[in-house]
Amino acid sequence: MRGAPVKEGPRINEGIIARDVQLIDEAGENHGTVSKRDALAKAQEAGLDLVEIAVNGEVPVTKIMDFGKYKFQAQKKAAEARKKQKTVEVKEIKLRPNIDTNDYNVKMRSIKKFFEEGDKVKVTLRFRGREMAHQDIGMQLLLQVKEETTAIAKVELEPRLEGRQMIMVLAPR
């Protein structure tokens, strides 16, 4: 057996459960605690809806307003908030232990660009074959990256070895 469908948003008009409500009219004037019936009558008289705006305590706060307009404004506000939200991405930069100086500089420029855009950077250093014997070179390289980015980034995950690769995660300051 299924229950009644749960409605999103505030309760309006006949959907308000409380017997007494605190009433605020369309002009924003507080009328104090009145019966729900009187509040509904005032709302219908004004040609508007009675909307429950706060359910704190024993007496819910209701306001006489155009519910359609209220819903539209709320949707607009939510859309604006979503638009301003920045999703933080994790960009990956792959290095090798014997990287050339120029290649290293290109990678560092990319890392700095990612930080300017507000993204995190995962620096991955891959070892192949006998390079595993020279993990100290890889560690020095990651520490150099860490040192060069200290002004604009903080280390979120210290350099560590995972299988055949060393990983470090940096986040913008």
Same domain, 163 and 96: yes
DSSP H or E stretch at residue 30? strand 30-35
Do 21 and 59 touch, CB atoms closer than 8 A?
Answer: yes
Tell me whether residue 8 is in a domain. no
Whether residue 98 sits in one domain with residue 75: no
| Structure confidence at residue 7 (pLDDT) | 60
- Looking at the fold, whether 76 and 94 belong to one and the same domain comes out as no
The predicted structure's pLDDT at residue 4: 52
List phi, psi (to 5°) of 118: 85, 15
Residues 124 and 100 in one domain: yes
Q: Per the domain annotation, does 26 fall within a domain?
A: yes
pLDDT of residue 95: 93
Domain count, the chain: 2
- 121 shares its domain with 75: no
- Which CATH number goes with the domain that contains 72? 3.10.20.80
**Residue 4 belongs to some domain of the structure:** no
Helices (H), 85-157: 101-116, 135-148
**Cβ atoms of 141 and 95 closer than 8 Å:** yes
Q: Is residue 24 part of a domain?
A: yes
Question: Residue 99 falls within a domain, yes or no?
Answer: yes
Residue ending a domain, among 27, 56, 82, is 82
The model carries a pTM of 0.54
Shared domain for 163 and 100, answered yes or no, is: yes
Shared domain for 20 and 37, answered yes or no, is yes
Q: What is the pLDDT along the chain (173 residues), one digit of tens a residue?
A: 455 555 667 888 888 888 899 999 888 889 889 999 999 999 998 899 999 888 877 889 999 999 888 889 889 998 988 888 777 789 999 999 999 999 999 999 999 999 998 899 999 999 998 988 989 999 999 999 999 999 999 999 899 999 999 999 999 98
- Are 162 and 99 in the same domain? yes
State which residues form the domain around 142: 90-172
The answer on 109 and 61 residing in a single domain is no
Same domain, 104 and 73: no
Which of 59, 82, 105 terminates a domain? The answer is 82
In a domain, 7, yes or no: no
pLDDT of residue 1: 47
2 in any annotated domain: no
Q: Across-strand partners of 171?
A: 154
Residue written as token pair 């605190």: 22
